[in-house]
Structure 1
Amino acid sequence: MIRITLMLVALAALFGCGEPVAQGSAARILLLGDSMFATNRASNRAVADVLEAELGQEVLDRSVFGARYFHPLPLTGAAGMRLESQYREGDWDWVVMNGGGNDLLLGCGCSLCQGVLNRLVSADGRSGTIPAHVARIRASGARVVYAGYLRNPGMGTPIKHCGPAGNELDRRLALMAGFDAGVTFVPMADLVPYRDTSYHGPDRIHPSVKGSQGIGARLAAVMKSKDRPETKRRSRR
């Protein structure tokens, strides 16, 4: 009964609605993802806002609460958006992405998830829904940064049992990124210090303002390190 109650709390948090906010037609950075990116947007302190401040560039934020790759949700509209449908053709320099957590939580309850993991990305990182989606984006010439999920080390949370599946997803995404110099996987599993509650909101699922700041700052640092003309030329197909 406790497990079921905790799962319902997690689902309620994940199903919050939020429409994507276009942040300017001149943007050369596109952000796609789920609630880890979309949280704190109402106060202009979401991950996209941090990226804009850190990089000094506009970001088009299309992340949506409840976004997933393939697991059906009992919702319509933005909160049920599929991650692949968030992408828009454009002359993007960077596409920053996350996703897969809702598929693991809702598709297999974060346990016995081998089948869902394989649909997302194969054990060797070469195939699956995520590599196919990334490959389509890379074909446009844009560089891709794929972010992992935050963890809550030393704390109990409604989705604590998702840790092993999340770790395996991280491992596979890192392998995927290793096959293309234009793709970078940025883990977030080590971002939160042990028993530090300040990186998450009260639900202990979504990032606090500090959490969004930490995620955005880490992504921006990686993008800055790779944003050299010679690196950009080599990474484009």
Structure 2
Amino acid sequence: MIRITMALLALALLFGCGEPVSQGVGARVLVVGDSMFAANRANNKAVADVLEAELGAKVLDRSVFAARYFHPLPISGAAGLRLSTQYREGDWDWVVMNGGGNDLLLGCGCSLCQGVLNRLVTADGRGGAIPAYVARIRASGARVVYAGYLRNPGMGTPIKHCGRAGNELDRRLTLMAGFDAGVTFVPMADLVPYRDASYHGIDRIHPSYKGSQGIGARIAAVIKGAPKQGLPAPRRR
């Protein structure tokens, strides 16, 4: 099962190499992350496209297939595969993020993952690569939405065994977001109805058009419902 998953992700690497194309000059929303965000970009139906439509604002999408926090292999031309390199300084109102799933899958096979989880985000939600990355972005004054991963309830998939590690990652990210009013963790674990295959593509890993629509709509609702003032970190001009 793990070998099948590795093969699928190897294919994702082929599609993921290179810099994503900007979706608009003057964007105030930045999207960084992995294939959950990057899927369906070629057809203008990725999560960032949904955000543009829902928010009525330009969005810059820098997400990349197979991106992860700890990148052990030097892959030529794979710009943006290390998640921490996707962020660019700018006058962002919001930075929408995801990531960590490929680290759990490729770093520990989604089993015996305590060490990888701790590198991503510690059990108390305060330390690790993800809180450090979020803090770096928050220092600019931008608000952050960190999205969790879809699940496939009632269905067999190549990454079904990742559920337990994914649930623990969600728990830790929820704690992380609780320390800063400018950070929101948006879970996606409950987005897909039981035995509903329509939210995933044929590989049952990446979101379908409907899946990207659901993810984007949930994130957009958070952004549209956020208070306009009273942020704990003022924007630097």
Whole-Å separation in 1 of the counterparts to 2:43 and 2:155: 27
Whole-Å separation in 1 of the counterparts to 2:179 and 2:142: 16
1:17 alignment partner AA: F
| Alpha-carbon offset, residue 23 of structure 1 | 1.4
Give TM-score, length-normalised by structure 1.
0.94
Give TM-score, length-normalised by structure 2.
0.94
1:190 alignment partner AA: D
Whole-Å separation in 2 of the counterparts to 1:26 and 1:78: 25
Q: Which moved more, 1:210-219 or 1:19-28?
A: 19-28
Alignment of 1:84-233 (within 5 A): 84-226=84-226, 228-230=227-229, 233=230
Residue 236 (structure 1) aligns with: 233
| Alpha-carbon offset, residue 5 of structure 1 | 4.1
Q: Per-residue displacement from partner, 1:40-92 (whole Å, max 9, x unpaired)? A: 00000000000000000000000000100014246332366200000000010
1:118 alignment partner AA: N
Residue 10 (structure 2) aligns with: 12
Please tell me whether residue 28 in structure 1 is matched to residue 11 in structure 2. Answer: no
2:34–2:66 Cα contact (<8 Å) kept: yes
Alignment of 1:30-109 (within 5 A): 30-73=30-73, 75-78=75-78, 81-109=81-109
Whole-Å separation in 1 of the counterparts to 2:162 and 2:55: 32
SS of residue paired to 2:144:
strand
2:2–2:109 Cα contact (<8 Å) kept: no
Whole-Å separation in 2 of the counterparts to 1:121 and 1:229: 29
SS of residue paired to 1:78:
coil
| Alpha-carbon offset, residue 21 of structure 1 | 1.5
Whole-Å separation in 1 of the counterparts to 2:160 and 2:73: 21
Q: State the Cα RMSD in Å.
A: 1.4
Question: How many percent identity over aligned positions?
Answer: 78
Whole-Å separation in 2 of the counterparts to 1:80 and 1:27: 19
Whole-Å separation in 2 of the counterparts to 1:203 and 1:95: 28
More helix by share: 1
User: Relative to structure 1, is the Cα distance of residues 5 and 128 closer, same or farther in structure 2, using a 3 angstrom cutoff?
Assistant: closer
Whole-Å separation in 1 of the counterparts to 2:121 and 2:95: 19
Whole-Å separation in 2 of the counterparts to 1:5 and 1:105: 11
1:96–1:145 Cα contact (<8 Å) kept: yes
Whole-Å separation in 2 of the counterparts to 1:27 and 1:4: 39
| Alpha-carbon offset, residue 35 of structure 1 | 0.3
SS of residue paired to 1:91:
coil
2:80–2:86 Cα contact (<8 Å) kept: no
1:17–1:78 Cα contact (<8 Å) kept: no
Whole-Å separation in 1 of the counterparts to 2:12 and 2:77: 14
Q: Per-residue displacement from partner, 1:167-193 (whole Å, max 9, x unpaired)? A: 000000000000000000000000000
SS of residue paired to 1:177:
helix
1:10–1:159 Cα contact (<8 Å) kept: no
SS of residue paired to 2:146:
strand
2:6–2:106 Cα contact (<8 Å) kept: no
